Amino acid sequence: MRSEMLTSILSDLNGTSADIEASAVISTDGLMIAALLPSSMDEDRVGAMSAAMLSLGERTSKELARGDLEQVLVKGDEGYILMIHANQDSVLTVVAKPNARLGLIFLDVKRAAEAIGKIL
């Protein structure tokens, strides 16, 4: 039941913008909770990398006195990866196209993360 609700939230998120290519809910230790990823993306690898980036982002934010981490944004020449906490023990990771309108995506991702946080 819980996994169906999470998958529904991810499906709604992916449907809000054609710029969102994939999304996943991952535990902070890197385990995949729910995902809508293309077959070309390995779930275990996405989970492990998301957890590592989130951990590094949290440490960097604290070490440089920037407060609590809100999000991690990675920009590559083929698109974006956005990570945001859903709750203390999970993160929502979103993969977006290079021409994505980030303002709208940030808003949709924040709403999805809040909904996921209520379920978990």
The pLDDT assigned to 113 comes to 96
The pLDDT assigned to 1 comes to 80
Beta bridge partners of 22: 95
Contacts of 81 (CB under 8 A, 6+ apart): 53, 72, 73, 74, 93, 94, 95, 96
Q: Which domains does the chain have, with CATH numbers?
A: 2-119 (3.30.450.30)
pLDDT for 3-33, tens place per residue? 899 999 999 999 999 999 999 999 999 999 9
24-59 core/surface letters (b: 16 or more CB in 10 A; e: else):
bbbbbebebbbbbbeeeeeeeebbbbbbebbbebee
The pLDDT assigned to 90 comes to 94
Cα distances from 30 to residues 18, 56, 67, in angstroms, run 27, 13, 23
pLDDT for 105-120, tens place per residue? 999 999 999 999 999 8
pLDDT for 50-105, tens place per residue? 999 999 999 999 999 999 999 999 999 999 999 999 999 999 999 999 999 999 99
